[in-house]
Amino acid sequence: MRDVVDAEALKLRTLLLPRLALLVAALGAGLIGFAAASIATDAGETVTPADLAAAPAKTLWFLAVIVAVLATAGEFQHRTIRTTLLHAPHRGRVLTAKAIVTTAYGALITLAGTASAVVVGMVSLRAEGLPVGSVAADFWAVAAGSVAIGGLWALLAAGLGTLARNSTVAVATVLLWWLVLEGLLPVVTGNPDARRWLPGGAADALLLGRADLLEPWAGGLLFAGYATVVTLVGAVLFARRDPA
Amino acid sequence: MGREEGHHTVARIRFDRLTKRYGAVTAVHDFTATLEPGTITGFLGANGAGKSTTIRILLGLTRPTSGTATINGRPYAALAQPARVIGAMTDPDVFHPRRKGRDALRVLGRVSGIPDRRIDEVLDLVGLVESARRRVGGYSMGMRQRLGLAAALLGDPETVVLDEPANGLDPAGVLWLRTLLRGLADEGRTVLVSSHLLAELARTVDDVIVIDHGRLVVHGPMSDLLGTYRSSTLEDLFLDVTSKGSPS
C-alpha cells in the first residue's frame, strides 16, 4: 500500500501543474491578504488575523480541486490508468492512495496560501502603523478549518474526477454547482435556508461565523459526509467499469 | 509455477473457455489456448477480431463474461507485483504527454520497488537514453512504442505480452524489435505478440494463434501449420483459415 501511495505522490511531483498550483496559491493568497488589509484600512475597520486567514479560502479550495481532478480524471483522459493498473491491479488500493495523496495536497495548498495571506496582510497592516487584531482562538479555528476543508474539497474533487473521467467536465461541475446551483436552489425550493445544507454552504460554515450557516463543527462534518459519499460512489463505479 | 497438472506443468499463460460479450456483440467466444515458456507466439487476427479484448482480459483491464485467463495459474489481479511476473504493452498512448519519459517509468516502477538503475537499463535497451529527459508529448509514435516496451520490461518479467508493438516503428525499428523478441524468448521467456501486420511477424514467431470473429481458428507451431494448410507464407495461411479468404 505504501508503494502505491509513493507512486501517486511521485505522479504529482513529476508534473508541472501541481507545483504551479502551489506557487499560485502562495502568491495569489498573498495578494488577497494584502488586498483584504488595504480594503479594511480604507474603510476604517480593524482586520483580525482570522479575517486574513478566511479571505483566500475559496480561491485555495478551487486550486485544490484542480489538482485533485488532474490526479483522477487526468488518468482516464491520458489513458495512463491502463499502465497504472497493470502495475497496481488492486483498484481499491489505487483509489485509496489517490484519496490520501490528493487530500494531503489539497491541505498543503490551503496551508501554504493561508500562511501567505496572513503574513502578507499582517505585515502590510504593521507597515501602515495600524492595529492588528490579536491572534485569538478564532484565528486557529478558521485556519485549521480552512486547511481541513481544502483537503476535503480535494477528496471530493478526486471522487468526482473518477466519476466523470474527464477533467473539464469535473471542474465545470464543481464551478457550476458552486457559482450557480447553490445560489439557485434556495430560490427554486422556496427555502432561503437551504444553502446551509448544501456542500458549499457547509464548507463556508468553517470560515467565519454566519447566522445563516451551520455551526462550524456541523458544517465540517456535513462536508466530510459529502466528500465521503462522492468518493464511495466513484470507487464503486471504478471497480465495476472497465478503465479507458 | 512447476505445479504438475497431468504430465504437463502449469503453463505461463492459459485462456480457458474465455467469452466476452458487449451487449449483442460477442468479441471473444469460448477461447481456449495455452502458451508454453520459451516461445514467441504470434496472435493474429484482422482488426476487430478480438485480439485486444483477449489481451485486456488477460491483463485484468476488462472483465470476461465467462471463462478465465491466468498467468502461472492465477488471474492478473491476484499477482502481488505483476510487473515482475508479466510485462505488458497495450498501446503506445498510455503516457502523460507532459511527463518526462524517464519520470513515466519511475512512476510505474515505484509501485514494484524497481530501482532507478533498472530504469536506466531498460531505457538503454530500447534506445531512449537521450530522449528520456524530454516530455513524452514531443515523442514520435515509434518512440512512444519504445517507451511502452521499456515499461513492459521494467520488472524483468518471465512473460511479455505486446499488443501491436510494431505499429509506428520504421523498418529499422521492426528489425530491432524482432531481435529483441528473439532474445527474450531465448532467455526462456514466454512472449505473446499480437499484430495485424503479418509480414512483420512471419520471421519472428514460433507458434501462431489465429483468431477470427472472436473464435480461435488455429493454434500451433508455424512450420506445422504451413504444412497442414499447404500454405507457402503466413499470409496465405491466414487468408486460408479465416473468412477473409473465402469469396463472399
Q: List pLDDT tens digits, range A187-220.
A: 888 888 888 899 999 999 988 767 788 888 999 9
For B186, the domain range is 37-62+75-245
CB contact under 8 A, B113 and A78: no
Q: What is the pLDDT of residue A54?
A: 94
Q: Report how far residue B132's alpha carbon sits from residue B128's, in angstroms, rounded to the nearest whole number.
A: 6
CB contact under 8 A, A3 and B151: no
Express each pLDDT in B14-48 by its tens digit: 999 999 999 889 999 999 999 988 889 999 888 88
Q: Provide the phi-psi class of B6: left if phi over 0, else alpha when psi is between -120 and 50, else beta.
A: left
Express each pLDDT in B95-120 by its tens digit: 999 999 999 999 999 988 899 999 99
Q: What is the pLDDT of residue B11?
A: 57
Q: What is the mean pLDDT of chain B?
A: 86
Beta bridge partners of B33: B15
Residues of A with CB under 8 A from a CB of B: 3-4, 6-7, 10-11, 14-17, 74, 78-80, 82-90, 242-243
Q: What is the pLDDT of residue A96?
A: 95
Quick check: is B206 in a domain?
yes
Take residue B113 and report the three cell numbers written for it: 520497488
Which of A19, A78, A83 is most worth mutating to test chain B (most B CB atoms within 10 A of its CB)?
A83
- Is pLDDT larger for residue A101 or for residue B7? A101
Does pLDDT of B248 surpass 50?
no
Minimal Cβ distance to B60: which of A4, A11, A89: A89
Q: Does B90 touch chain A (CB under 8 A)?
A: yes
Minimal Cβ distance to B76: which of A14, A89, A243: A89
Q: Where are the domains of chain A?
A: 2-240
Domain total of chain B: 1
Q: Report how far residue B59's alpha carbon sits from residue B40's, in angstroms, rounded to the nearest whole number.
A: 18
Radius of gyration of chain A (CA): 19
Does pLDDT of B72 surpass 70?
yes
Take residue A92 and report the three cell numbers written for it: 481499491
CB contact under 8 A, B96 and A80: yes
What are the C-alpha distances in Å from A33 to residues A49, A59, A140, A207?
Answer: 10, 12, 16, 15
**Pick from B30, B77, B69, B55: which is nearest to B192 by CA?**
B55
Across B219-244, average pLDDT: 81
Across A103-129, average pLDDT: 94
Take residue B169 and report the three cell numbers written for it: 516503428
CB neighbour list of residue B136: distance below 8 Å, 6 or more residues apart: B95, B96, B97, B98, B99, B100, B101, B104, B144, B147
Interface ipTM above 0.90: no
Express each pLDDT in A32-49 by its tens digit: 999 998 887 787 778 889
The model's confidence at residue B202, banded by pLDDT at 50, 70 and 90, is confident
CB contact under 8 A, B111 and A74: no
Q: Does B95 touch chain A (CB under 8 A)?
A: yes
Number of Cβ within 10 Å of residue B98's Cβ equals: 15
CATH of the domain at B122: 3.40.50.300
The model's confidence at residue B5, banded by pLDDT at 50, 70 and 90, is very low
Q: What is the pLDDT of residue B9?
A: 52
What are the C-alpha distances in Å from B133 to residues A14, B24, B143?
Answer: 11, 46, 13
Q: Is the pTM of this model over 0.90?
A: no
The model's confidence at residue A244, banded by pLDDT at 50, 70 and 90, is low
Does pLDDT of B199 surpass 80?
no
